[in-house]
Chain A
Amino acid sequence: MSLAAQVVLQRGSLSLDVEIEVADGEVLAVLGPNGAGKSSLLRVLAGLLPPDGASVVREGATIWDGDGTHVAAHRRALGMVFQDHLLFPHLSVTENVAFGLRTRGVGKAEARSTAQGWLARVGLEGLGGRRPAQLSGGQAQRAALARALVGDPRVLLLDEPLSALDARTRLTVRAELRRHLAEFAGSTVLVTHDPVDAMALADRVVVVEDGRVVQAGTPAEVNRRPRTDYVARLVGLSLLPGTGTAAGRSVRLDSGGEVAVAEEASGPVFAAVRPESVALYLARPEGSPRNVWPATLVGATPHGATVRCELSGEVPLVADVTATAFAELGLVPGSPVWATVKASEVAVYAR
């Protein structure tokens, strides 16, 4: 029991070529911007979208797609949760959850009692008689999860399962989902554009952009060492591609400019700077920092107690300053500033 897939798909402007492997009990997050092909990938895994010839989807020893085989969606042992719960509006919540059992030949009474057991597991005890329209967003998504898991699937596919929920509900449902995924013995593929979902729920992350895998690793790795601008932006880092200088301890950026670093760096590398380690001044600061760059403030958005400042210049950066400091500096878009970063605060890793 494990899922391995090499999916090739050409659909309109989308050209998808992605390889993934998910072990039993593992949760793989597919992270990427809208239109990257994540949902198409999931639809191919589910059997809802026929892939191109070169594709192979394998569940354990069973081939779902490939070698001229195409197992229809309803014959694959899988469960799927969609962005907006998609509970059948004409059935009660219990009937929704029991649906997958009934189609697989389980008797009515047994299907009902199993469904009710699952409703209790997801915290919806006593709500089984309701219509889906009478549930809140969070309750509906819990019911959808129960419906997907009730048939004891070997593969669980989650398509943006939390993105239709409001912020507070998302938090609680995410925590519950994490618990259910930990108990789930099969392979899980979670598609999301929210890095928090990926970090909180997944054992491994693959980042898909324009139909290709651009980065793969544990959530911590992806978080700490993003390899593309998209991921860096998601995790709130400024990503500066450059080349380690011969002398070491310094990176010449592709965009021009130079960044002093604390470690030896050679060859093509990324320098990553966290917004909170960037300090802003109106005048060139005196003293020791080795990284001092002139920059222009191009945008500022409040972010809790801090203000996130976007800077353009030789070294494009994002800086978090406290709201007080922001007011004291009297910054407005277009203001010229000096940005400093300690060399020890710059992460360097090979490209």
Chain B
Amino acid sequence: MTRARGGTGIPAPLLVPAAAGIAFLVLPVVGLLVRTPWSDLGPKLTAPGVGDALRLSLLSATLATLLSLLMGVPLAWVLARSRIRGRSILRALVTVPLVLPPVVGGVALFLVLGRQGLIGRWLFEQFDVTIPFTTTAVVIAETFVAMPFLVISVEGALRAADARFEDVAATLGAGRWTTFRRVTLPLVSPGIAAGAVLCWARALGEFGATITFAGNFPGTTQTMPLAVYLALQEDTEAAIVLSMVLLAVSLATLLLLRDRWLGRATVPVA
């Protein structure tokens, strides 16, 4: 066996593209850091609109995550545990938003929930409720795009969890719902947490579906990614500062995830 590059054990044909890959991923972030106007940071951050956009982003991403948990965990259970027919079709449907361009998702949401849409028209006529171009629309768009991440993550955790614990619970007199609450849910809680963090991060960065379905109104639908894009047209430095804020939030998320993964890996095995 020949080894390239004294002792690393990585063959040159793999090492070169791998190094290029790392550079490709890291350089843009470095560029962002280099161009950040550190001295101006304070005023730029407190500029009107920035706080609103950040608050709206955090709020809508959190609401979207809660909504995803509420619907996604039961959906993941159905995909992983139930014996209903057409489960594979169901799973394929769940993953559609993962591969669908977000803009297309936004258009689709508009067609269903817009004032002339299938459900939107009924909502408008019966309850005088309009969804597009509201904060509700932001939350819906983010949920649509981000929930599949949670579902996939939780379903994986459910499949990896030992289903025999659920049998044990049944022999101890626990019905299906009690078993789900007292046994299944705690067992897969690390998977749910990881899925929720992923889902939240995806919702926070959502752009395409949001701008299509909810528009870009400061204070109600202008989230951070939209604000960044808009700022870039007029004031590059402001865009950089806003980007830095998003970057900081993403890094914090990553650290949170890493902690959880490390925490799981160091559980004492007696």
Q: Which residue of A lies closest to B168 (CB)?
A: A86
Check: B26 CB closer than 8 A to any chain A CB.
Answer: no
Residues of B within 8 A of A74 (CB): 169-175, 178-179
Contact residue range for chain A? 20 to 34
Question: For the complex, is B59 an interface residue (Cβ under 8 Å from A)?
Answer: no
Write out the residue numbers on chain A whose beta carbons fall within 8 Å of the beta carbon of B169.
Answer: 74, 88, 99, 103
A48 to B174, CA, bound (A): 12
| Contact B171 A46, beta carbon cutoff 8 Å | yes
Q: Is B111 an interface residue (CB 8 A)?
A: no
Q: Chain A residues with Cβ under 8 A from B165's Cβ?
A: 86, 88
B167 with A73: CB separation less than 8 A: yes
Given known pairs A99-B174, A100-B173, A134-B270, the reply for A82 and B187 (CB within 8 Å) is no
Task: Report the bound CA distance from A47 to B175 in whole Å.
Answer: 12
State A84–B257 Cα separation when bound (angstroms).
Answer: 31
> Which residues of the partner chain A approach B170 to less than 8 Å between Cβ atoms?
46-48, 72-74
* CB-defined contacts of A90 to chain B, threshold 8 Å: 186-187, 189
Interface of B, secondary structure class, is helix
Q: Give the distance in Å from the alpha carbon of A147 to the alpha carbon of B267 in the complex.
A: 24
Residues in A4-60 with C-beta less than 8 Å from chain B: 43, 46-48
Contact B168 A88 (CB under 8 A): yes
Verify A80–B171 contact, CB threshold 8 A.
yes
> Which chain B residues lie closer than 8 Å to A89 at the CB level?
187
Contact A147 B186 (CB under 8 A): no
- Chain B window 67-89, contacts with chain A (Cβ cutoff 8 Å), 1 for yes, 0 for no: 00000000000000000000000
In angstroms, Cα B171 to Cα A76, docked, is: 8
Report how far A78 CA is from B168 CA in the complex, Å. 11
A211 close to B (CB within 8 Å): no
Binary interface profile of B, 127-162, with partner A (CB < 8 Å = 1, else 0)? 000000000000000000000000000000000001
Complex Cα–Cα for A229 and B22 (A): 64
Assuming the A-B contacts A73-B167, A80-B168, A151-B172, are A88 and B270 also in contact, with contact meaning beta carbons closer than 8 angstroms in the complex? no
**Is A200 part of the binding interface, using a Cβ–Cβ cutoff of 8 Å?**
no
- The answer, yes or no, to whether A351 is at the interface (CB within 8 Å) is no
**A135 beta carbon closer than 8 Å to chain B:** yes
Question: Are A100 and B172 in contact, CB atoms less than 8 angstroms apart?
Answer: yes
Asked if A262 is at the interface of the complex by the 8 Å CB criterion, the answer is no
A242 in contact (CB, < 8 A):
no
Q: Could you tell me the distance between the alpha carbons of A103 and B183 in the complex, rounded to whole angstroms?
A: 12
* Distance between B12 CB and nearest chain A CB, rounded to angstroms: 45
Distance of A103 Cα from B170 Cα, bound (Å): 10
A288 CA to B189 CA, complexed, in Å: 76
Chain A, residues 132-152, CB within 8 Å of chain B (1/0): the string is 011110000000000110010
> When A82-B164, A86-B164 are in contact, do A48 and B171 touch as well, CB less than 8 Å?
yes
Interface residue ranges of B106-135 to A (CB < 8 Å): none
Q: Is B14 an interface residue when CB atoms closer than 8 A count as contact?
A: no
Chain B nearest CB, measured from A351 CB (Å)? 40
A159 to chain B, nearest CB (A): 10
Answer yes or no: A121 CB below 8 A from chain B CBs. no
Interface pair A103/B173, CB less than 8 Å apart = yes
- Is A104's CB within 8 Å of the partner chain B? yes
Closest to B185 in A: A90
Closest to B187 in A: A90
Taking a contact as CB atoms under 8 Å apart, the answer to whether B173 and A104 are in contact is yes
Cβ B178 vs Cβ A73 within 8 A: no
Tell me if B167 and A48 are in contact (CB < 8 A): yes
Q: Does B48 contact A (CB under 8 A)?
A: no
Chain B residue at minimum C-beta to C-beta distance from A49: B167
Which residues of chain A from 109 to 142 have any CB-CB distance to chain B below 8 Å in the complex?
Answer: 133-136
B43 at the interface (CB under 8 A from A): no
B183 and A88 form a contact (CB under 8 A)? yes
Query: Is there an interface contact between B174 and A103, defined as CB atoms closer than 8 Å?
Result: yes
Contact B167 A103 (CB under 8 A): no
Q: Which residues on the A side are within 8 Å of B183 (C-beta)?
A: 88
Q: How far is the CB of B81 from chain A (nearest CB, A)?
A: 14
Give Cα distance in the complex from A219 to B179, angstroms: 38
The 4 A-B pairs of least Cβ separation, nearest first, read A100-B172, A73-B170, A103-B173, A80-B171
Known interface pairs A73-B171, A88-B169; 4 further A-B residue pairs with C-beta atoms within 8 A, sorted by A's residue number: A80-B168, A88-B183, A100-B173, A133-B268
A-B contact pairs, 14 of them (CB 8 A): A48-B167, A72-B170, A78-B171, A80-B171, A82-B164, A82-B168, A86-B164, A90-B186, A90-B187, A99-B182, A103-B175, A103-B182, A134-B268, A136-B270
| B contact set with A: CB distance below 8 Å | 162, 164-165, 167-175, 178-179, 182-183, 186-187, 189, 267-270
